Amino acid sequence: MTAYGSRLERFAAWCEREDIDAFAADVRTIRRYLAELSREQVAPRTLAAHLSAIRSLYRWMAAEGIVEGDAVSAIASPKLPRDLPGVLTTQQVEALLKTPDTSTPAGLRDAAMLELLYASGARISELAALNVESISWSERTLRLWGKGSKERIVPLYRRALEATRLYIEEGRPELLAQAKRRDPATGPHPLLISARGNRMSAAMLRRRFHMLATLAGIPADIAPHAMRHTFATDLLEGGADLRSVQELLGHASLSTTQIYTHLTPDRLKRAVAQAHPRGE
């Protein structure tokens, strides 16, 4: 409420300086005010917050009959820049992947979890939904079910396959034995299971990821989704085309992929060097 009030006070002060009745400001007046804020290099998000405060005031005044109509509704909110996602460095990824204690069943599971996150670009909810049957060992692929129950097949690299196989053959049976549980005779069989032998939820996997990231010395605000961003960015850095990355991530729109996989200067330089007639 303090921020809301201060924005309205600033608008009222400007109206007073300009000899304008703040309660009778029209569209042109409010646009002039926003333009002045913009000239003062107010950030787009802050500019949008100022407009939102004024809009709320005028809606209230219109509802109370203090003013006729709503002058602000005709003003479009400023376009906001979409934030680039957090991406792990190569050193951070390597440190994270080495963190699990693979001498324990839970450590084998954690190693498989991290390798699969980095190898597939899966969302944490997609990872939680995986079954043992989701992996095709002959095809070396992982079957994921994304938003809207949309299926996609992602190839897995050798290290991820090996970590997952070791967990399935050694870690997972031990977790079931410790929980005094048995797999049903027929599938599906949940891939990532807890110490109680149950499928781990997305929330449980998230907590596990944060614990491992902390042990690896990675900032606490890094979420599992950073592995998805890193997966996409590393593919682009390695020369993968945007359409392929879009398919691997399961995005319906290419514009979404562009937000996830911001272009770096090195990649842009490489693109010019490879494609421009005088790029050598």
Active-site positions read: 123, 147, 225, 228, 251, 260
Say if residues 61 and 53 touch (Cβ distance below 8 Å): no
- C-alpha distances out from residue 137 to 49, 158, 218, Å: 52, 11, 32
Say if residues 11 and 47 touch (Cβ distance below 8 Å): no
Structure tokens at 119: 């190898």
Output phi, psi for 108, to 5 deg.
-65, -40
What stretches of 105-241 show up as alpha helix (H) in DSSP?
105-120, 124-128, 158-166, 172-178, 202-215, 225-237
Say if residues 188 and 133 touch (Cβ distance below 8 Å): yes
Write down the residue that tokens 């787009």 correspond to: 44
How many Cα atoms sit within 13 Å of 264 on the Cβ side?
A: 15
Cα–Cα distance for residue pair 237/221, rounded to 1 Å: 24
Cα–Cα distance for residue pair 22/122, rounded to 1 Å: 51
Tally Cβ neighbours within 10 Å of residue 167. 29
